[in-house]
Amino acid sequence: MLNRRDLLKLSSVAVGSLLLPTGLRPAFAAGGDITIGAPLPMSGPFAANGKFGSMGTAMLVEEVGKVLDRKLSYLEIDTEGKPATAVRKVQEAMERGVTLFSGGILSSEALAMGKEVAKGKGVFITTAGADEITGSECNKSTFRWSVPTFGAIEQTVRPLIEQLPNAKRWYTITPQYVFGDGLLNAAKAIFKEKGIEHVGNSYHSLTEKEFSGYLTNAMAAKPDALLILNFGSQSSDTLRQAVSFGMKNRMTILLAWASGLEQFEALGPELMEGVYFGAQYWHGIDSPFNRELVAKVQAKHKMNPNYAFASAYLTTKILIDAAAKAGSADGPAVTQAMEGMKYAGLTGDEEIRAADHQVIKNYYLLKGKAKSAMKDKDDYADIISFGKSFQSPEQAQCKMA
Amino acid sequence: MNRASLHFLLAALVAIALPLFMRSGTLASEVLIFAMAAAACNLLLGYTGLLSFGQGIFFGLGSYAAGLTLLHTSLPLALALVLSAITGAVVATGVGWLSIRRQGVYFVMLTLAFSQFFYFLAYTFKDITGGDNGLLNIPRPAIGPFSLGESWAYYAFVAVLFLLLFAALQRVASSTFGRTLLAVRDNEERARAIGFPVRNFKITAFAISGAVTGLAGALHALLIGVAPLSNIDYHMSESILIMTIIGGTGNLFASVLGAGFYVIVSDLLSSIWPRWLLLLGGLLIVVALFMQKGLWGLLERLVEALPMGRKSSINSSIESPIQPESEGRGI
């Protein structure tokens, strides 16, 4: 058995080895390139989103080619959908000299990565949903393109109430965590203001797959409108089960936080017809930049850009444009250039609010079309209304350090 | 050189080699952190015959304990780590005390149930744990005059702790207590008939395993600055078990091999092919069918195939706890 002296000797050897000159370790400083890190869930349950996000970043980098007379490249970082892996790989990328990051689809990953990038004085722009990103956990390095829960509800529930004055009784189905509560609280505030009766709410867990019990409760409350506040596969499952229960014929259904084209492809027009959806992006948006992007993506990839693709393309562009404007790829310089930046974006004129790093952009209310009314295979919905609604940085509780 | 010294030397060589061959101090630290967790799991699986899905609980609670201590108190880092180990040990004692009342599949189900229970506790008490967003902003304070901010400096700290814990676990495994665990694993009834307090031995093994896993969880939270909800998920237990099984349950160094292999190969494969989990699944099938002694067993076979290896195998002793033919009997 090893005695104490041997143990101490071996420990000191281990420590000593760590003090070797860094030259003995593999060198991994970035060369002359400006590299955009794209931390995305390329494997795991959200791999489909990651794949399109990566395609968006890759297309923009390829298109631009050079900035500040330096070659532009991108580094795809597979976060595996796990915050721990995401942070570790972002740390590694920063050790290799990467300072600019665009990605982070999942809220938990994005929050953690934002903190890590801030430590290294880099820049991180994300499309993740958690309000805290530009709210209570905001920081100097993190920017967010997507509209927070407040705006998503303001631009879906409010216009729908105005369109359907007879829908006086609303029922909500909510995932029980911060994101769900954010949407629910915003909806409750509008209900109160407009004299709407909130006839009930069903909370469910983050791992729920079976919604028939909640839907039975909803039907028993006899609402005029059902407001679905979960997202991703959970919202698809809720809608499928609601339609199979015949609820679409008995009430108006609004899914406030839809993923857009990728979700609609999975749902299909039969389920979607007559259902309302809230969306951050839709390829049918009539803005010069979006029309240009749609044409480019159709030419290159023979498809329409979905939310993951288009948002990654745009957020990467914002980083590169800011670097060009700053004349430097250093994090603090790019951050400064991004603060208050106005540009022609996917949703029309967009602006990055300096106080909390939130992009001020439109959110959309869509309505599912009948299959017979679709002009092409992706023409699943019409835009009913859109607009910009944001809390002030103080209301969002952002205290920028 | 005896077997334990050889294994410690190999563990030390791993700690020395990682900075020389790896470009990322973060990844190297993760290897050693999971090596600690896998070695602690091995104490239960390989030495006591307990297939526990509760390791994620201790890992996650260790992360939260360290995070909460450093965020809300002015206690030094060393004390935060000690508190994490104590948290792991206390909870493991409770989980072990209740779970070992049943054997076989019922024991496994109980640990799985506890795993889900603690996951939803962490998810529900979001004001304490951060819920789905995780516990953010965990600092990595200095130890005395030594800053741990730089990734290789933190690796050095983790490496020292790893070697100390590895030696301590070896001491436990080769003690009378450890030998008795082997006897319990091989034939619990006989051990009980001889007069060993089998139940107390199993609970103690759980407590030690929980303490080491809790400490590993704390080091992980310090590494990434976050205690994510996924640290207490049952997938964490699953990953730690896979590392232990891939390495082999024969000895503690096998767990170091398993953790290193799992962490490094996952990292490599994920950068090559998004469906890398398929390959990992295939590897597990191969291990289950043809390599029941894991990577360590493969290494043994390779060394024995060498001319000099035939004379002196790196592990020729009958004291090896590897008993693949009896795997599953003790659970």
List CB contacts (< 8 A) between B164 and chain A. Answer: 7, 11
Judging contacts by C-beta atoms under 8 Å, the chain B residues touching residue A230 are none
Separation in Å, CA of A189 to nearest CA in chain B: 23
Which residue among A6, A25, A119 places its CB closest to the CB of B19? A25
- For position A310, what pLDDT does the model report? 97
Report the DSSP pairing between strands A100-103 and A34-40. parallel
- Give mean pLDDT, residues A74-101: 91
Using an 8 Å CB-CB cutoff, list chain B residues near A132: 133
Q: Which of B26, B133, B228 sits opposite A92 (nearest CB)?
A: B26
Residue B81 has pLDDT above 80, yes or no: yes
What pLDDT does B24 receive?
85
B163 to A112: CB separation less than 8 angstroms, yes or no: no
Is the residue at B331 inside a domain? Answer: no
CB-count exposure of residue B40 (10 Å: 0-12, 13-18, 19+): buried
Structure tokens at B210: 């929980």
How far apart are the C-alpha atoms of B110 and A90, rounded to whole Å?
37
Q: Give the tens place of pLDDT for each residue, B280-291.
A: 888 888 888 888
Residue B319 confidence class, pLDDT cut points 50, 70, 90: very low
Considering only residues B279 and B59, tell me which one the structure prediction assigns the higher pLDDT: B59
Q: Given this model, what pLDDT does residue B316 score?
A: 45
pLDDT of residue B311: 56
Which of B 45-104 lie inside 8 A of A, CB atoms? none
Q: Report pLDDT for A34.
A: 93
Tell me, what DSSP letter sits at residue A20? S
Quick check: A75 contacting B, CB < 8 Å?
no
Q: Which of B223, B249, B222 is nearest to B46 (CA)?
A: B249
Helix axes B77-99, B104-124, angle to 10 degrees: 140
Of B16, B20, B24, the CB nearest to A95: B24
- Judge: B5–A1 Cβ closer than 8 Å, yes or no: yes
Instruction: Give pLDDT, residue A11.
Output: 44
Q: Which of B299, B302, B296, B283 is nearest to B242 (CA)?
A: B283
Give residue B329's pLDDT band: very low, low, confident or very high (50, 70, 90): very low
Confidence (pLDDT) at A16:
42
Q: What is the pLDDT of residue B308?
A: 65
Q: Which domain holds residue B93?
A: 3-326
Nearest CA in chain B to A10: B12
- Checking if the pLDDT of B327 tops 50, the result is no
Q: Are B266 and B280 in contact (CB under 8 A)?
A: yes
- A15-25 pLDDT, tens digit per residue, is 443 333 333 33
> What DSSP string describes B81-129?
HHHHHHHHHHHHHHHHHHHTTS-HHHHHHHHHHHHHHHHHHHHH-HHHH
Q: Please, which pLDDT band fits residue B186 given cuts at 50, 70 and 90? A: confident
B24 vs A contacts (CB less than 8 Å): 91-92, 95
Asked if residues A125 and A319 have their Cβ atoms less than 8 Å apart, the reply is: yes
Which residues of chain A lie closer than 8 angstroms to B174, CB-CB? 1
**CB proximity list for B241: less than 8 A, separation 6 or greater:** B41, B45, B51, B52, B53, B55
Q: How far is B298 from chain A (nearest CA, A)?
A: 25
Spatial distance between the Cα atoms of B284 and B94, rounded to a whole number of angstroms: 31
Residue of A3, A4, A9, A17 to mutate, testing the B interface (most B Cβ within 10 Å of its Cβ): A17
Are residues A14 and B160, on separate chains, in Cβ contact within 8 Å? Answer: yes
Please say if the pLDDT value at position A56 is more than 50.
yes
DSSP-derived letter for residue A171 is E
Alpha carbon A289 to its chain centroid, in Å, reads 19
Residue B277 to residue A78, Cβ atoms within 8 A: no
Mean per-residue pLDDT, B248-259: 92
Asked if pLDDT for residue B318 goes beyond 70, the answer is no
> Which class is domain A34-147+287-360?
alpha beta
- Residue in B with minimal Cα distance to A87: B224
Asked if A82 lies within 8 A of B274 by C-beta distance, the reply is: no
Q: Is B25 within 8 Å of A95 when comparing Cβ atoms?
A: yes
Residues 217-246 of B with CB under 8 A from A: 220, 223-226, 228-231
Comparing CB atoms, the residue among A10, A76, A205 nearest residue B9 is A10
The answer to whether B270 contacts chain A (CB < 8 Å) is yes
The boundaries of every CATH 3.40.50.2300 domain in chain A are 34-147+287-360, 151-279+363-387
**Regarding predicted confidence, which is higher, A81 or B95?**
B95
Q: How high does pLDDT run on average in chain B?
A: 89
**Which residues 179-198 of A have a C-beta within 8 angstroms of B?**
179
pLDDT of residue A24: 32
**Looking at the domain that runs over A151-279+363-387, which CATH code has it been given?**
3.40.50.2300
A76 → chain B, closest CA residue: B271
Q: Which of A13, A112, A178 sits opposite B131 (nearest CB)?
A: A178
Q: How much is the ipTM here?
A: 0.78
Work out the percent of chain B whose per-residue pLDDT is above 90: 61
> Could you report the per-residue pLDDT of A147-193, keeping only the tens digit for each?
999 999 999 999 999 999 999 999 999 988 778 888 999 999 999 99
pLDDT score of B53 more than 50: yes
Check pLDDT > 70 for residue B331. Answer: no
Q: Which of A7, A14, A137 sits opposite B159 (nearest CB)?
A: A14
**What is the secondary structure of A214-252 as a DSSP string?**
HHHHHHHT--SEEEE---HHHHHHHHHHHHHTTHHHHSE
Instruction: Answer whether B163 sits within 8 Å of A11, measured CB to CB.
Output: yes
CA-CA-CA-CA torsion sign (B30, B34, B36, B37): positive
Distance from CA of A389 to the nearest CA of B (A): 24
Instruction: Mark which residues 315-354 of A lie under 8 Å from B by CB.
Output: none
Considering chain A, what is the average pLDDT of its residues?
Answer: 90
pLDDT at B310: 58
Residue B303 sits in a domain of what CATH number? 1.10.3470
User: Into how many domains does chain B fold?
Assistant: 1
In chain A, the percentage of residues whose pLDDT exceeds 90 is: 79
Mean pLDDT of B86-111: 93
Cβ-based contacts of A177 with chain B (< 8 Å)? 123, 126, 131-132
What was the pLDDT predicted at A307?
A: 95
Query: pLDDT tens digit string along A129-147?
Result: 889 999 999 999 999 999 9
The rounded distance, in Å, linking the Cα atoms of A236 and A245 is: 14
- Report the pLDDT averaged over residues B243-270: 91
Span B50-71, average pLDDT: 96
The residue of chain A with its CA nearest to that of B23 is: A26
Tens digits of residue pLDDT in A189-207: 999 999 999 999 999 987 7
CA distance linking residue A48 with residue A52, whole number of Å: 7
Q: Which of B27, B134, B276 sits opposite A112 (nearest CB)?
A: B134
Question: Do B26 and A137 lie within an 8 Å CB cutoff?
Answer: no
Residue B312: predicted pLDDT: 54
Across the interface, whether the CB atoms of A83 and B228 are under 8 A apart is answered yes
Sort out which chain A residues have CB atoms less than 8 A from B123's CB and list them.
177, 205-206
Interface of A with B in 101-130 (CB under 8 A): 107-108, 111-112, 115-116, 119, 130
Using a CB-CB cut-off of 8 Å, the residues of chain B touching A178 are 126, 131-133
| Helix spans in A38-177 (H) | 47-64, 83-95, 107-119, 149-154, 157-163
Flag whether B157 is in a domain.
Answer: yes
Mutate to test the interface with B, among A1, A96, A399 (most CBs of B within 10 A): A1
